[in-house]
Structure 1
C-alpha cells in the first residue's frame, strides 16, 4: 500500500492519544490563526510539536513518544490559502510498529481530528524523517521546549503582564481555529527560541507567538 492510500476502515484498530502540543510561529501575540483569521503578516511559518502522554494504536503503546512538524503557508489556513508546505519528524525511539502507528494518526489516515486538519490544510510534504526529539513542558505550563540537535530549537514561555496574578496562565477556550481540535484549552505564550534549518525551511527568530494546547483524539470505534 502506498503512503497516499487510505486503508480500509477494517484495517484501522481502535486508537486513542492525548497529550501536549505547542507551536512557535511568525505571528504577533496572540496568533490570529487560532482565531481562524489570516496570519499577522499574511503568511506564517513555524514549529509544531506533539508529546503523547497517554495513547495506543490497537495493541501498540504510544505513551511518551514525540512528533514534530515544520510548516508554512500563505493566507488563512482555515479558509483560502496557498503555498502550504510541511516536513515531519517522528521520534527515533519508536520501534517499527510505533512509527507506523504515528504515521497513520498524524498523517490523517486513521481518521479523527488529524484527518480533518490534513484535508483542510492540504500541506505538500517536503520530507519525513526520524530524529531524537527532546520535548519538555513544565507541569505548571510556565514554559515549553522542543529540539532536534542541529535542526530545530523552539521554546516558549507563558504570557504574563502587570495585572496577571502570580502563577496564573492566560488561557482561552472554544477557539474557532484551535490547531488540536474542538474543546481544548489554549495557554498563550511568547517564543523564547524559534530556530530551524531542515528540509528547505530556515529561520531564526524569537519574541513572536507561541501557545500550548492539549489534544485528545480517538479513532471512530474507540470508547
Structure 2
C-alpha cells in the first residue's frame, strides 16, 4: 500500500442535539432523532498521495446511520472540491473511503452503502469563533465555538474519543446545517444541534 499523508482542518455538524450522544457512548447510543445524519468536512492544507499533491483541496463525507452508529448499515457519500483533477479526485476518494488505509478504514465494517461521489465548489472559512462550509447545493453548515470560561479561554474539548478524524475534538453548536445529497436530507437553523472541529493529520 502506498504511503500518503494529509493534514489540515476539520469541522462537522450532525442532526443530534448538543452534545451528540454518539461520541460520548462509543457510538452505541441511539441518536437524538433516532438516526444520524452528519457532514464531515476536511480542508487539506498540506498533503500528497503517490506523488500527487493535495494541497488546498477540500472534501466532505456525508453519512447516514439508520440507528446507533455501532450497529452499522451506514450510507456514505463523498463530495470532492471541483478544483481537483482526476488524479487528485481518485486520491481523495481512496483516502476518504478507507481504500488507502488510514483512519477511515476502521469505519469500513460499519458501512452498508457507498452512495457515490460528486464534485462541487467547496468553501471552508474560519472567522473568529465561527466556521462555515458550503458545497454548492449539497451542504451548507456553520458552527460557533463553545468557549471555555477558564482564564486562558479557548474552545471546550473532549478527549480520548472514538472519532476517525481526531481523538481530541473541540465543541461547537451548529448555527445552521443543511444537507441535500445522496438521499440524505436535513435542514436546521435552531442553533441547538451538535458540531465539532479540530486540526487533523492522517497518514498510512
CA distance in 1, matches of 2:19, 2:112: 23
Instruction: Pick one of 153, 156, 163 that aligns with 1:178.
Output: 163
How far 1:103 sits from its partner (Å)? 1.0
Q: Alignment RMSD, CA only?
A: 2.0
| Residue of 126, 130, 134 corresponding to 2:119 | 130
Normalised TM-score (structure 2): 0.88
Q: Distance in 1 between matches of 2:86 and 2:4?
A: 17
TM-superposed deviation, 1:165: 5.0
Q: Structure 1 residue runs of 4+, over 6 Å off? A: none
* 1:143 to 2:130 alignment: yes
Distance in 2, matches of 1:100 and 1:56, equals 12
Counterparts of 2:117 and 2:132 in 1: how far apart (Å)? Answer: 21
Aligned residues: 199
- The structure that is strand-richer by fraction is 2
Q: Distance in 2 between matches of 1:180 and 1:172?
A: 13
Structure with bigger gyration radius: 1
Stretches of structure 1 that go unaligned for 5 or more consecutive residues are 1-8
Query: SS where residue 104 of structure 2 aligns?
Result: helix
The aligned counterpart of 2:44 is: 52
> Structure 1 length normalisation: TM-score?
0.81
Relative distance call for 1:199 and 1:81 in structure 2 (3 A) is closer
Partner of 1:169: 155
CA distance in 2, matches of 1:85, 1:146: 21
* Mapping for residues 46-85 of structure 1, pairs under 5 Å: 46-77=38-69, 79-82=70-73, 84-85=74-75
The separation in 1 between residues aligned to 2:110 and 2:12, in whole angstroms, is 16
